Amino acid sequence: GQNIDQPTEMTATEGAIVQINCTYQTSGFNGLFWYQQHAGEAPTFLSYNVLDGLEEKGRFSSFLSRSKGYSYLLLKELQMKDSASYLCAVFLLSGTDKLIFGTGTRLQVFP
């Protein structure tokens, strides 16, 4: 079966750094997406990792280790507007074109 694990909730302080982890066990793997979703809104794309390593995009970075079935999203210089759910999603092998989402990590940023 397909299994994606993320912590349910995290809290952090404005200006700090937070790391949101995601582990996955899937039959077939083609890449990993991170999405941000504010309450009641649509998810918005943050990053897509296919190869091992760190991808940096402004205040957000995403890391992938395919051999360990592990990814993390790193958020730096946290702002209040970063309070949202962060969804990890695994893209399965081509031919199925399925994107399997984790249940998301709800991040609360406090002043």
Partner 1 sequence: DSGVTQTPKHLITATGQRVTLRCSPRSGDLSVYWYQQSLDQGLQFLIQYYNGEERAKGNILERFSAQQFPDLHSELNLSSLELGDSALYFCASSVDSPYEQYFGPGTRLTVT
Task: Return the beta strands (E) in 1-111 as ranges.
Answer: 3-5, 9-13, 18-25, 31-37, 44-49, 53-57, 60-65, 70-75, 84-91, 99-101, 105-110
The residue (of 13 and 108) whose beta carbon lies closer to partner 1 is: 108
# residues contacting partner 1 (CB under 8 A): 22
Q: CA distances (Å), 75 to each of 2, 97, 100, in order?
A: 27, 28, 23
Task: Give the N- to C-terminal CA distance of the chain in Å, as an integer.
Answer: 41
Stretch that binds partner 1, among 19-27, 42-50, 60-68, 73-81 (CB under 8 A): 42-50
User: What size, in residues, is the chain?
Assistant: 111
Q: Site for partner 1 (CB under 8 A): which residue of 1, 27, 45, 57? A: 45
Least distance (Å) from partner 1 to the CB of residue 72?
Answer: 18
The residue (of 6 and 78) whose beta carbon lies closer to partner 1 is: 6
Separation between Cα atoms, residue 62 and residue 65, nearest integer Å: 10
Q: Site for partner 1 (CB under 8 A): which residue of 21, 23, 30, 83? A: 30
Least distance (Å) from partner 1 to the CB of residue 6?
Answer: 9
Stretch that binds partner 1, among 11-19, 29-37, 66-74, 76-84 (CB under 8 A): 29-37
- Site for partner 1 contains 89 (CB under 8 A): yes
